[in-house]
Homo-oligomer: A and B are copies of this chain.
Amino acid sequence: MRVDFHFTPHQADEIWLRNKDVVIIDVLRSSTTIATSLRNGAKEIIPVASVERAVKVSGNLFGDAILRGGERNGRMIDGFNLGNSPAEYTEEKVKGKGIIFSTTNGTLAIERARFARALVVCGFVNISTVAAFLRTQGRDFVILCSGRNGMFSLEDTVCAGMLLRRMMDNHDVEIELSDGALAAVHLHKSLGKNIMKLLRASEHGRYLIQIGFEDDLSLCAGVDTVPVLPRLVGGVIRLNADPGVQVTPAA
């Protein structure tokens, strides 16, 4: 099995990603927020790259069946119901609703990979579920980190390394690693023991603390705390419907 690895979506060609299996990682915070929201009963997440499109797509159903969520520069967007803090996406607020979702980095990566054969969303919170899914597929795959404003993000890369480590350690899977994937495995080894410390040290983590979202860091640092599999099908992200892959992670 061959794993290709991209530190940012900007490195990856849209056409090249077509018909590939793609894992999108945006630890801080899109991956965590998407998983939390679906776990809490949101019907679907509709990722859109621009704010203008988010407003247009939500149309007449806005506020009733449809909410708008997301951020720019970490903060809630004017006219939106929700920001990008996983804590906001409670069952009370999101159950049964569709959520138009637009974030600076995460939805950009999803947009870039929208023609993928299978696209799943991964954070620390659902990492074993994603590893189990990839193992079930048994195919080559691509990891696309969302990065930060087109630049390398440490926390996404360490999460990718943990995902690869889980697949190599726990399962009988032989993986051929690109230079980037090999780097991710080594960075996970160096920095993956204390995820909370890693998030606090990362550029994005420091920025979130600065603008008042320190509590989000611990939600994003939880390993396997939200064991669901968000999957893009037909332009919307829902819980994966395939039987046998909504696994409970091993203790």
Q: Is the interface of A mostly helix, strand, loop or mixed?
A: helix
Question: Which residue of B has the minimal Cβ distance to A158?
Answer: B183
* Residue from A8, A150, A179 whose CB has the most chain B CB atoms within 10 Å: A179
A residues contacting B by CB (< 8 A) are 5, 7-8, 10-11, 148, 150-154, 157, 178-180, 182-183, 186-187, 189-191, 201-204
Question: Which residue of B has the minimal Cβ distance to A203?
Answer: B179
- For this chain, the copies found in one complex come to 2
Give which listed residue, B154, B179, B202, B204, contacts A202 with CB less than 8 A.
B179
CA distance A190 to B190 in the complex (A): 8
Shortest Cβ distance from residue A205 to the other chain B in the assembled complex, whole angstroms: 10
Give which listed residue, B5, B148, B152, B182, contacts A183 with CB less than 8 A.
B152
B residues less than 8 Å from A191 (CB atoms): 186
Since A179-B203, A186-B190, A186-B191 are in contact, a sample of 16 more A-B pairs with Cβ atoms closer than 8 Å, ordered by chain A residue number, is A5-B152, A10-B10, A151-B179, A152-B178, A152-B179, A153-B179, A154-B179, A154-B182, A154-B183, A178-B203, A179-B204, A182-B201, A183-B183, A183-B187, A186-B186, A187-B187
